[in-house]
Structure 1
Amino acid sequence: MTKPVFSQEQPKPLASAVETKAKADDEQEKKATEWIASLNLGDAGKEKRLTEVVATHLKAVRDWHNEHPASTVPAGINPVTGKPLTELDRQLIADSAMPETVHQALMSGLQRDLVKKQVDAILDKYTIGKVAFTMNGYRAIVPNITEKEEATLLSFMEQAREQAVDYKSMKEISAIFEIYKTKSEQYLNANGRNWREMYANYTAVLKAKKAAEKKEATN
């Protein structure tokens, strides 16, 4: 009687999941290492501590996001607009429920070894430089922007950046910035500016410039 032949290569879903997570952890640790190295601290002890702080935060944000998909938030309406919650709305709600201690551990860990400018540089890594990009936009759109206006708008953008680091996807990060961009526009409107008019003028100038460049190129 022929004995059944059993393959030694049995499916290993659990092992595969462990390997996948280990690989993902390595990627986050590599990212954290590169971010901290960009500061050129020249202090191995600080670099090790800071890399651990950032890597721990990146992994915590990822794990919470993966374990709390948008589907964990019941479909409903946005109480402000009355419109149905979008997939992004529901994911933001799910991710915003992450324990505050995760964020506190990141900020206290960074502030222990870094000055504000260096902390800002790391937060910029999370948000791909959105603060500088957005501020450059405001400087271009708002005519003769005052020091007070610029300081207020920068404060809003820095709040957006610190809040956004706790979200995994760029769509979520952009959505957090949109909240504070709306606050910025409301601030300008409440203090003698007309955001809609300024933005319309800005886009009109850009269109005219592009049209002129196109015309010149064809001549």
Structure 2
Amino acid sequence: MKKKNRITLIIMLLLITSITINAQTGKTEQDETTKAKEWIGSLSLNDRAKEERLSQVVATHLIAVKEWHNSHPASTVPAGINPLDGKPLSELHRQIIADSAMPSKVHDDLMSGLRKDLNEQQVALVLDKYTVGKVAFTMKGYQAIVPEMTATETAEIQKLLEKAREQAVDYKSMKEISAIFEIYKTQAEQYLNNNGRNWRQMYADYTKKIKAEKEAAKKTKTP
């Protein structure tokens, strides 16, 4: 009798677990589908069939990224060192490594699905939704820091930031997305250094200027 009760309890626990997992999966799909529809709706395509196709493409990608992220925590990557600097891998580094192992087909399906119905400018607008407009925000920062930034410099840095944006859409958290952008920001700063600029000095000058402006503003407000 005790054995029978134990088996019944195990079955009940399995059923409860299954129901919980299914409920969580259903919520994930609903959340990501809603987000996808909002993003595609913001394009004002005025074409219901096209909007439905695109929403499905984006939702499928969002769900795949989230499910991969949730099933591949940082703990699945052994602790070790970063071969570039010899420092221990951080929790964020390990999570990025885990997420970067997601099959490339997930990304390829997103990009081909978007480009099937959208032009490159519209594709960029969708990718901006994923990355909360970090391309424009970061470019604005460079334009403020680099004196008389040339058209060639602007084009090169824009290209790097757009690469960062496309790569970053396959990562779940904003910390990861920001870390991906840091990779390309480092490349942008190296590019400036290699072409007659001194990034460290420009950044120091900009910081000094901002600090002086804040101090001046304080003095103006003081009675």
TM-score norm. by structure 2 comes to 0.93
* C-alpha distance in structure 2 between counterparts of 1:24 and 1:165, whole Å: 17
Aligned to 2:123: 119
- The equivalent of 1:131 in structure 2 is 135
Aligned residue number for residue 145 of structure 2:
141
Counterpart residue identity of residue 102, structure 1: V
Aligned residues: 211
Q: CA deviation at 1:41?
A: 0.1
Write the deviation string for residues 142-184 of structure 1: whole angstroms up to 9, x where unpaired: 0000000000000000000000000000000000000000000
Residues 5-24 of structure 1: pairs in structure 2 closer than 5 A = 12-24=16-28
Structure 1 residue corresponding to 2:82, chosen from 53, 68, 78: 78
Match of 1:109 in 2: 113
Root-mean-square deviation (Å): 1.1
1:174-207 alpha-carbon deviations (Å, 9 max, x no partner): 0000000000000000000000000011111100
Q: Counterpart of 1:45? A: 49
What residue in structure 2 maps to residue 176 of structure 1?
Answer: 180
Q: Which residue of 1 aligns with 2:162?
A: 158
Letter in 1 for 2:189: E
Residue 215 of structure 2 is matched in structure 1 by 211
Matching residue within 199, 206, 209 for 1:202 = 206
Give secondary structure in 2 for the equivalent of 1:168.
coil
Unaligned residue ranges in structure 1 (runs of 5+): 1-9
Partner of 2:56, secondary structure, is: helix
Question: How far does the alpha carbon of each residue in 1:59-111 deviate from its partner, in whole angstroms, 9 at most, with x for none?
Answer: 00001101111011010000000000000010000000000000000000000
Distance 2:24 2:195 in 1: 52
Amino acid at match of 1:104: D
Task: Give the letter for the 1:61 counterpart.
Answer: V
- Residue of structure 1 in register with 2:8 after alignment: none
Q: Structure 2, unaligned stretches of length 5 or more?
A: 1-11
| Larger helix percent | 2
2:5 is matched with which residue? none
**With structure 1 as the length reference, what TM-score do the two structures score?**
0.95
Return structure 1 stretches of 4+ with deviation > 2 angstroms.
none
User: How far, CA to CA, are the matches of 1:120 and 1:217 in structure 2?
Assistant: 42
Give the alignment partner of residue 192 of structure 1, picking from 186, 192, 196.
196
